[in-house]
Structure 1
Amino acid sequence: MSSHQHQHDPNHVQKQPNRPKIKDVLGSVVVIMVPLPAQGHLNQLLELAHLVASYGVPVHYVGSASHNRQAKLRSHVPLLSTPSNIRFHDFPTPPFLSPAPSPNSPYKFPSHLQPAFDATVSLRGPIASLVRSLSSGSRRVVVVHDYLMASVVQDAASVPNAEIYVFNTVSALTLCWYMWESTGMAPPPEVELDIAELISSKGFPSFLHSITDEFLKFVASQNEFQKFSSGSIYNTCRVIEGHYVDLYASATANDTATKYWAIGPFNPVKVPEKTSRRSAHVCMEWLDKQAPSSVIYVSFGTATVLRDEQIREIAIGLERSGQKFIWVLREADKADIFSGGEARKIELPQGFEEMVETRDLGVVVRDWAPQLEILGHPATCVFLSHCGWNSCMESISMGMPILAWPMHSDQPRNAVLITRVLKIGLIVKDWMNQDDVVKSSTIEGAVKALMASEEGEQMRKRAAELGAAVRGSMDEGGVSRAELDSFISHISR
């Protein structure tokens, strides 16, 4: 039995949370969720919407028609179990460009999504109208917005019975890192020495090196509106990085007694069993036939574009590793994923897919894949990932170690958290050499190190133990459940 196998124990039943008895005092508190229109952001706030709605609180999820459709289409929570008190509002946005992502772009950052971000300015009026209309029939209107959507919810600050809460879509370590880096503050003495040295050194590229100037201006345009926030919500767990949650909270506390809640993981922590309702994706059928802890899952998220040369090296490295794999190889999302047009067909070495199928080495998935179900499957044992925060939280909550290949934004900091703080993974690509192609021999070596070495076994064991602790945090009496109870009690006070 593998070191993370206990997570699939059929005798383990996730406890039903003991909800606080607040419905009698709830009155008519309503929540509005305002996500940034990019998959990792849409998904997290929809998952939070499900958690809030499970307490009987009505939730209004707002965005353009295409982005709301995208969020629903890719939701981990089956539509049949969607609470009836989540309502989607399709607000009109002006037409925006939706260019195909370019593998030859000088940036790994998905700059092709910028037109969709810029178009969100048009949501300000409809959101203000929604807040006002709900406020007239509600005791309190609670607006939870993505950090990068602060400007579009600013009018809620002038509604007497409305409150605004910011959702931070990144890890607490990343928030601390950015704060220390941007202010020139030295990390406090209790921060791990090698992390403090990384933060203080000029050797690790700054956050500004991993985003575009255009996106930096967009971020800056949101900053002045954070002053309206009554509190912050994180998709993280104190079991994972409570130390950094507290450090960030204490460093950013102000005179208004801002509150902080580490509510994660937002994603479901119990995935459907083979016998119960789950996706009938072809890769799940293939996984069911594989030995326990024998498969590596490869996915670089929804916004990563890799050059053909790099894809060839990954293919050769996976084949030579001798390990079975599921590789999600799809083009990065456009700003509007439903806008049509011919998508780039990502080329693999000639005959590779036929060879993989003939030798039953793995599955190459060219479309959307049920990532959480794959990570929670007994046959899966390693995740080769770009370290987007969504993927990190899903992997950690399923007890899965990570081969870290960060691309841009917060991902390099998340990779440090995974490999140096939590010690549940290995770096595949050195962030200092962003433009280099990672050779097949490096990929092969990293896979073997995590799947077939004593050091890898220790990491897999730590990942399994951390996953069990994180899943337990969502049970009755668990630390994340207590934080969620606290948030619901606070907004319904």
Structure 2
Amino acid sequence: MKQTELVFIPSPGIGHIAATVEIAKLLTQRDPRFSITIFIIKFPFWSDDSAMTSDSDSIRFVTLPPVEVSPGAAEPFLLISEFLKAQVPLLRDAVHELTRSNSVRLAGFVIDMFCTSMIDVADEFGVPSYLFFTSSAAFLGFKFRLQFLHDHEGLDINEFKNSDAELEVPSFANLVPGKVFPSVMFDKEGGGTEMSLYHTRRFRQVKGIMVNTFVELESHAIQSFSGSTIPPVYPVGPVLNMQGGSVGGRQDATAVMSWLDDQPPSSVVFLCFGSMGSFGGDQVKEIAHGLERSGYRFLWSLRQPPPNGKIESPRNYANVEEVLPKGFLHRTAKIGKVIGWAPQVAILAHPAVGGFVSHCGWNSVLESIWYGIPVATWPMLAEQQMNAFQVVKDLGLAVEIKMDYNKDSSYVVSAEQIEIGLKNLMNIDSEVRKKIEEIKKISRKVMIEGGSSHFSLGHFIDDMMANIPCKQQSDI
């Protein structure tokens, strides 16, 4: 019997690749008919191979040849989108090579939210496309809502820029304020607005959308899709990479875990802002003052911003004392530890950790739920402000430090705001802490047999097999 081959195309970000590898593992474990080829696109400005591992014989990685791009002054998400579009001819050639053998029956392409240009390649091969959406169902609904209002009702998205004006979005339980919209949505002149709308229009062309979430977490959002004209939505999460790899500093992980071993249970605030999170000197000093004034134990992943105008990942500081208030490390030596890169998953899993100050990337939100760690929101970019709004207002699983912070703004969050946020976060009797403990228990059950996401993934497999084109079906 021929293997049923799926082609996966993730975006080059570590969070996207890691989640893609994990969903590929789930599919091959669930159904032995599947083999999966994950096409890796390396962005020239940053790269991380840590997620590109699988112990499954049914999954292989193919790295597409490098493409020269000039960064210019483009909005980063626009640059990424254009870069991915340039990969289309390379992907076409690679899939031709893959299907040259008669032993492969191509079932379809599973694309990432930024890789919608690859739908054209799937069409050329006469197979359906599917979307693996690595953010929340609520954000997926927001994208569809905004695109519909723009295209069919003449909505001017810029009316919401830096505004308290609110939009009714069916996938959110509360009205959504313009100040938490992704900033790329307001980049009309630079092309970011149109790029975002283009991708969402193309989402409507796929045969189905797997979302990294679960029904019990986002019941309101998932219910909002019922009866709509969008493709079927399959909540298949939480899909998590428990290795939690990232660039650099792995040799320091042992020292970090050893330090945590010496701390009391649920006593440590962990501050970590994602693979692209960093702050200027003024903000770093306010965080330090806020931590010191709060008196809580802390583990702080502090990264150095890239040079102005450079699209690069933050790096570890050669000497953190340069950027911290004078004497801070000495005064907090008994209760705090400042590190560079952080083994986030291992830290969240440690019993000493009692709160997580997070950028609210969706993978980090799911990890905090999995380990039952309350979040204080400090978003940086992309859709993280919307995730922060959702977990605070709709889901009640987080407290706010600053919900509409943007790393490109000049706003500095004060030490007082930070101190108040930390006290709310570490309140052992809070409703947030009770709620996250409840959803933690549910998150552990949904992926096993009888769970909602296990069922939903099975439903996706059945539908996908039924969608295999007739000329391929004859080979079953």
Distance 2:144 2:418 in 1: 33
Report what 1:351 is aligned to: 327
Residue 62 of structure 1 aligns to which amino acid in structure 2?
F
Match of 2:118 in 1: 152
Q: TM-score, normalised by structure 1?
A: 0.77
**Aligned counterparts of 1:29 and 1:234: Cα–Cα separation in 2:** 22
Taking the aligned partners of 1:170 and 1:90, their CA distance within structure 2 comes to 24
Closer, same or farther in 2 for the Cα pair 1:33/1:332, shift >3 Å?
farther
Gaps of 5+ in 1: 1-25, 100-104, 272-277
> Residues 120, 430 of structure 1: CA spacing in aligned structure 2 closer, same or farther, 3 A cutoff?
closer
Q: For 1:66 and 1:344, locate their aligned partners in 2 and report how far apart those are by CA, in whole Å.
A: 28
Q: Paired residue for 1:441?
A: 416
CA contact (8 A) 1:154 1:228 kept: no
**Equivalent position SS for 2:217:** helix
The structure 2 residue matched to 1:326, chosen from 299, 302, 326, is 299
Q: Which has the higher helix share?
A: 1
Pairing 1:314–2:314 present: no
C-alpha displacement at 1:371, in angstroms? 1.1
Do the aligned partners of residues 114 and 206 (structure 1) sit closer, same or farther apart at CA in structure 2, a change above 3 Å counting? closer
Q: CA deviation at 1:145?
A: 0.6
The structure showing larger relative contact order (alpha-carbon pairs under 8 Å, at least 6 residues apart) is: 1
In the alignment, residue 121 of structure 2 is paired with which amino acid? D
2:94 — aligned with what?
130
Give the drift of 1:236. 0.7
| CA displacement at 1:323 relative to structure 2 | 1.2
- Indicate how the Cα distance of structure 1 residues 122 and 206 shifts in structure 2: closer, same or farther if over 3 A, else same: closer
**Shift in alpha-carbon separation, 1:249–1:375, aligned structure 2, 3 A:** farther
Q: 1:216 to 1:38 in 2, by over 3 A?
A: farther
3-state SS in 1 of match to 2:86: helix
Q: Return the offset for 1:262.
A: 0.6
- Say whether residues 1:293 and 2:257 are aligned partners: no
Among 138, 143, 150, the alignment partner of 2:109 is 143
Aligned residue identity for 1:59: I
Structure 1 stretches of 4+ with a deviation exceeding 6 A read: 66-69, 188-191, 340-346
Distance in 1 (alpha carbons) for counterparts of 2:262 and 2:316:
36
Match of 1:480 among 449, 453, 467: 453
Going from structure 1 to structure 2, the CA distance change for 1:246 and 1:269 (only over 3 Å counts) comes to farther
In structure 2, relative to structure 1, the CA distance for the partners of 1:260 and 1:492 (3 Å cut) is: same
Give me the whole-angstrom Cα distance separating, in 1, the residues matched to 2:85 and 2:269.
41
1:34 aligned onto 2:9: yes
* AA matched with 1:362: G
The corresponding residue for 1:366 is: 340
Does 1:379 pair with 2:352?
Answer: yes
1:169 counterpart = 2:134: yes
Q: Tell me the distance in 2 between the aligned counterparts of 1:90 and 1:409.
A: 26
Q: 1:362 to 1:447 in 2, by over 3 A?
A: same
Q: Show CA shifts across 1:49-89 (max 9, x none).
A: 222232343221112356899453157xxx5x632322111
What does 1:55-454 align with in structure 2 at a 5 Å threshold?
Answer: 55=30, 56=32, 57-65=34-42, 70-74=47-51, 79=53, 82-97=55-70, 111-112=75-76, 115-136=79-100, 137=102, 138-160=104-126, 162-184=127-149, 187=168, 192=173, 195=174, 198-199=175-176, 204=179, 206-208=181-183, 212=187, 213-248=190-225, 250-253=227-230, 258-268=231-241, 280-331=253-304, 347-356=323-332, 358-359=333-334, 361-367=335-341, 369-431=342-404, 435-452=410-427, 454=429
For 1:365 and 1:74, the matched residues in 2 are separated by: 22
> Aligned partners of 2:225 and 2:313: how far apart in 1?
35
Q: Is the 8 A contact 1:235 1:263 kept in 2?
A: yes
CA RMSD in angstroms, aligned pairs only: 3.5
Change in Cα spacing, 1:328 to 1:259, as seen in structure 2 (3 Å) is same
- Structure 1 residue 426: deviation in Å? 1.0
Report the number of matched residues: 432
How far apart in 1 are the matches of 2:454 and 2:367?
Answer: 17
- The one-letter amino acid of 1:33's match is F
Could you tell me how far apart the structure 1 residues matched to 2:444 and 2:215 are?
12
Paired position in structure 1 for 2:161 = none
CA–CA distance in 2 between the matches of 1:119 and 1:139? Answer: 29
SS of the equivalent of 2:450 reads coil
Give, in angstroms, the shift of residue 267 of structure 1: 0.2
**Contact between 1:170 and 1:389, CA under 8 Å: does it hold in 2?**
yes
- Whole-angstrom CA distance in 2 between matches of 1:31 and 1:286: 44
